[in-house]
Amino acid sequence: MDDSPVTVRTFLNLAEADACRAMLESEGIAAFVADAATVGADWFLGNAIGYIKLQVRPADAERAIELLREIPEPAVRREARDAVSDDECLACGAAMEQAKACPKCGWSFSDTGFDQTEAE
């Protein structure tokens, strides 16, 4: 039986990988983080982006992938996405498009003293 570890997700930094590893282990799945340090000199042969790998035993792979699906995207990528879609009502979460005030609850950015007019 092939028992070599299966990569279930790749990461840009060790902290994210470690957080996911801890989560899997709290679910009883043995998980390992493979990064440049643990795989030695091979790192420069591959793509540096996403190089840190979270690995589990083949028998656990399916469940691990299921569990990881419930984990929010890594904070770095979430922040990048938020930066381009900051047009949600901060009071009720409704889409505000380019409206000055929320079409649903009437809340507006001026309520916070935060002036959006120069954000275009």
Q: Is 105 in the site for Zn ion (CB under 5 A)?
A: yes
In the shown chain, the binding pattern of residues 12 to 31 toward Zn ion, with x for contact by CB under 5 A and - for none, equals --------------------
Q: Is 104 in the site for Zn ion (CB under 5 A)?
A: yes
The single-letter DSSP state of residue 44 is G
Q: Is 91 in the site for Zn ion (CB under 5 A)?
A: yes
**Phi and psi at residue 7, in whole multiples of 5°?**
-80, 120
Handedness of CA 35, 37, 38, 39 (dihedral sign): positive
Helix (H) or strand (E) holding 9: strand 6-11
Nearest to residue 99, comparing CAs of 112, 110, 108, 90?
108
Nearest to residue 35, comparing CAs of 17, 20, 52?
52
In the complex with Zn ion, which residue's Cβ is closer, 11 or 109?
109
**What are 51's two structure tokens?**
């190089």
In the complex with Zn ion, which residue's Cβ is closer, 39 or 94?
94
SS3 107: coil
Q: Is 109 in the site for Zn ion (CB under 5 A)?
A: no
Please work out the total of residues on this chain that contact Zn ion, with binding judged by CB under 5 A.
8
We find the least distance from the C-beta atom of residue 107 to Zn ion, in angstroms, to be 4
In the shown chain, the binding pattern of residues 61 to 90 toward Zn ion, with x for contact by CB under 5 A and - for none, equals ----------------------------x-
Q: Which positions touch Zn ion (CB under 5 A)?
A: 89, 91-92, 94, 102, 104-105, 107
